[in-house]
Amino acid sequence: MVTEQGIIEEVSGQKALVRIKKGSACATCESRGNCEVISGKSMVVEVANDLEAGKGDHVELSVPSGAFLKLSLLIYILPVVALMAGAFAGGMCAPFLHMTPTLASVMGGFLVMGITFYALKRFDRSLRARSEFRPRMTRILLRSGTRQSDSGKSSRM
């Protein structure tokens, strides 16, 4: 499981908005320059509030490793493969389009990669409905006003 910690910002019915803290994994991440967490903006995630946590509670969120790996492959590998396939196809079609092979490769690569990003965006909307890809609140680390003990029971501070 991939886990992160956050603080509940708002509770609305059975849903909670959780502000994710910057984790130690961020320091070694290749994408740390592009991530909203590093750039000063924090990331807010909506999760089901099955644990009945309250506003201000520190919670742990998790995503199954298999789902995380599938999504990572889709997001990072698929566009690169699409770029290369489009560039190859564009180069092969250059004589028929009366273009230089280099220009046709560049145009084909960007066209197919753009189509892939559009398809991923639409696919993302359908994945949000599937529970296996959504983060889940796995435990309450610290209640606002109460501390979580090792035995799992709360005690007043």
In order of 12, 15, 19, 42, the CA distances from 52 in angstroms are 11, 9, 17, 23
Residue closest to 84 by CA, chosen among 112, 116, 103: 112
Q: How far apart are CA 139 and CA 62, in angstroms?
A: 9
The structure tokens listed for 80 are 């690169």
Q: How many CB atoms lie within 10 A of CB 131?
A: 9
Is pLDDT above 80 for 75? Answer: yes
9 and 38 Cβ atoms separated by less than 8 Å: no
129, amino acid identity: A
Q: How far apart are CA 68 and CA 89, in angstroms?
A: 31
| 25-39, 97-111, 127-141: range with lowest mean pLDDT | 25-39
Between vectors from CA 42 to CA 41 and to CA 47, what angle results, nearest 5°? 145
Is pLDDT above 70 for 23? Answer: no
Q: What is the model's pLDDT at position 50?
A: 86
Give the model's confidence band at 65: pLDDT under 50 very low, under 70 low, under 90 confident, else very high.
confident
Phi/psi region, residue 101 (left: phi>0; alpha: psi -120 to 50; beta: rest), is: alpha
